[in-house]
Amino acid sequence: MSHSPSLPDRPRLELDPEMSEAERLEAIRQHYRRIVHVNDELEDRLEDAQGRRGDLKADVDELKRENEVLKTSSLYIASVEELTEDGVVIKQHGNNQEVLTQAATRLDADLRPGDRVAINDSFAIQQVLDDETDSRAQAMEVTESPDVEYADIGGIDEQIREVREAVEDPLENPEQFEAVGVEPPSGVLLHGPPGTGKTMLAKAVANESDATFIKMAGSELVRKFIGEGSRLVRDLFELAADREPAVIFIDEIDAVASKRTDSKTSGDAEVQRTMMQLLSEMDGFDERGEIRIIAATNRFDMLDEAILRPGRFDRLIEVPEPDAEGRERILEIHTQEMNVADGVDVGAIAGDLEGYSGADIASMATEAGMFAIREGRTEVVQSDFERAGEKLQDVEGTDEQVIHYQY
Ligand SMILES: Nc1ncnc2c1ncn2[C@@H]1O[C@H](COP(=O)(O)OP(=O)(O)OP(=O)(O)O)[C@@H](O)[C@H]1O
């Protein structure tokens, strides 16, 4: 091992055979003192070196931090609009200014329209932003196994049967569809008034077919920056492919798929782009494996026909307001866990609730419980339900939005 020249020499013990016992002892003592001295000196140096190492490390850390700041502080965010032969068209966030620019060569192959990118002062693309670094993931609700079962849904047995056939069967028995030689429906569209159980139905079918439930609200798709809607759609399908078997549920699909009389405004063009992306994802759906897609709307009349073509949302299922029998079943479901007094006539209560949705009935059951609590009772009686029904009717009568209880 070679030592740095500045290090002290290793002391040597030299004993002469001619030496007397006392001389040898003295020589050894001296040697020992020299060793101790060299040792002390080396320890001092080690301490110095460690001190310097600490200082240098602090310098390095400082430089790293500065480097990070330099790398990131001057970058702006933009979205990739288009890849052309002449370069990349980007649109800056904030001022929406469009610029034709270039990307660092290493990024060339990775860029896709809709990507969020970081650009420098001269608009050159420096970085493609990570999925995790933005709000996209937050726009989706992902549940491994939603806690809704078919038995929790009342009054729409026929709709449950149809959804099972279109979603659950192809997920569970793809071979059967292959053997018979038919394609399962591409997408299922649930339409009907608010609060009738469309979301529940989508959750239940995901749960009962052991599929991941991925929900995206249509309104989320249109609220984002330019280019983000179509990117979100792509992410949605990518996520589903990672998590298959999966059920994609797009609520309020009308937000991205409405007929438009005038699509010249830029907002509309953006919504249109998002819808086109959705359609193209659905068109390439056959190869996607175990993913089913369900959408829901309260505004069926508003939908653009393009999304209803074969191969897209080609299984339409109407989820209507419940009839008397349905309302009775829904009321039974929502009072199952409640301490309801003997003799309460659920059928008669449900009979009076003409025009109530499942969500209204759920709210009413909770409200009836609140009446009992207010009066210090532990049992819910017939009149509690009647008063709750009247109260809800009053609220609806004022044309105000019905307040649904969250529980
Ligand atoms: N058919 C039903 N059976 C039992 N409960 C129901 C039914 N329909 C609605 N509910 C109750 O109302 C709540 C809201 O229902 P859900 O979200 O499924 O309605 P939706 O049709 O998706 O409404 P929206 O169109 O407003 O999104 C449910 O959590 C449930 O408590």
Does one domain contain both 224 and 349?
no
Report the share of the chain in percent with pLDDT over 70: 87
Chain segment 104-151, per-residue pLDDT in tens? 777 777 788 888 888 888 888 888 876 544 455 667 888 888 889 999
Ligand 1 atom having least distance to the Cα of 148:
29
Does one domain contain both 255 and 384?
no
CA distance 231 to 273: 10
Average pLDDT of the residues of the chain: 84
Chain segment 72-81, per-residue pLDDT in tens? 555 777 888 8
Does one domain contain both 282 and 352?
no
Instruction: Tell me if 25 is assigned to some domain.
Output: no
Dihedral (CA of 296, 302, 306, 308) sign: positive
- Our answer on whether the CB atom of 146 is closer than 6 Å to any ligand 1 atom is no
Residue-level pLDDT at 17: 85
Instruction: Tell me if 297 is assigned to some domain.
Output: yes
Instruction: Tell me if 20 is assigned to some domain.
Output: no
Instruction: Tell me if 276 is assigned to some domain.
Output: yes
Which of 292-301, 342-351, 390-399 has the weakest average pLDDT?
A: 390-399
Query: Is residue 277 within 8 Å of 259, Cβ to Cβ?
Result: no
Instruction: Tell me if 226 is assigned to some domain.
Output: yes
Instruction: Tell me if 196 is assigned to some domain.
Output: yes
Does one domain contain both 113 and 242?
no
Tell if the pTM clears 0.80, that is, is over it: no
CA distance 250 to 236: 10
Query: Residue 400: pLDDT above 50?
Result: no
CATH number of the domain that 357 lies in? 1.10.8.60
297, 318, 339: which is the final residue of a domain?
318
How many separate domains does the chain show? 3
Does one domain contain both 215 and 292?
yes
Work out the pLDDT band at 5, boundaries 50, 70, 90. low
261, 294, 318: which is the final residue of a domain?
318
Residue 199 annotated as lining a ligand binding site: yes
- Our answer on whether the CB atom of 153 is closer than 6 Å to any ligand 1 atom is yes
Average pLDDT over residues 148-159: 94
Bigger pLDDT: 95 or 55? 55
Does one domain contain both 88 and 199?
no
318, 334, 349: which is the final residue of a domain?
318
Does one domain contain both 334 and 311?
no
Pick the residue whose CA is nearest to atom 13 on ligand 1. Answer: 359
Domain that holds residue 214: 136-318
3-state SS, residue 69: helix
Residue-level pLDDT at 322: 94
Does one domain contain both 168 and 124?
no
Query: Is residue 154 within 8 Å of 329, Cβ to Cβ?
Result: yes
Residue-level pLDDT at 133: 44
DSSP state string for 254-294:
GGTSB--S---SHHHHHHHHHHHHHHHHHHT-GGG-SEEEE
Interface predicted TM-score of the whole assembly (ipTM), two decimals: 0.97
Residue-level pLDDT at 370: 92
Query: Residue 401: pLDDT above 50?
Result: no
Q: What are the percentages of helix, strand and coil residues in the chain, rounded to 5? A: 50, 15, 35
- Cα 327 to ligand 1 centre (Å): 12
Work out the pLDDT band at 2, boundaries 50, 70, 90. very low
Residue 195 annotated as lining a ligand binding site: yes
- Cα 193 to ligand 1 centre (Å): 10
CATH number of the domain that 143 lies in? 3.40.50.300
Query: Residue 168: pLDDT above 60?
Result: yes
Query: Is residue 221 within 8 Å of 232, Cβ to Cβ?
Result: yes
- Our answer on whether the CB atom of 294 is closer than 6 Å to any ligand 1 atom is no
Pick the residue whose CA is nearest to atom 16 on ligand 1. Answer: 197
Does one domain contain both 230 and 288?
yes
Chain segment 256-282, per-residue pLDDT in tens? 888 764 545 555 777 888 888 888 888
Average pLDDT over residues 171-197: 88
**Strand partners for 88:** 83, 101
DSSP state of 168: I
Instruction: Tell me if 215 is assigned to some domain.
Output: yes
- Our answer on whether the CB atom of 360 is closer than 6 Å to any ligand 1 atom is no
Residue-level pLDDT at 293: 92
Residue-level pLDDT at 206: 94
- Cα 296 to ligand 1 centre (Å): 12
Instruction: Tell me if 105 is assigned to some domain.
Output: yes
Does one domain contain both 369 and 307?
no
DSSP state string for 187-229:
EEEEE-STTSSHHHHHHHHHHHTT-EEEEEEHHHHHHS-TTHH
Residue-level pLDDT at 100: 92
Residue-level pLDDT at 266: 52
Does one domain contain both 338 and 253?
no
Query: Residue 178: pLDDT above 50?
Result: yes
CATH number of the domain that 115 lies in? 2.40.50.140
Does one domain contain both 145 and 119?
no
- Cα 58 to ligand 1 centre (Å): 59
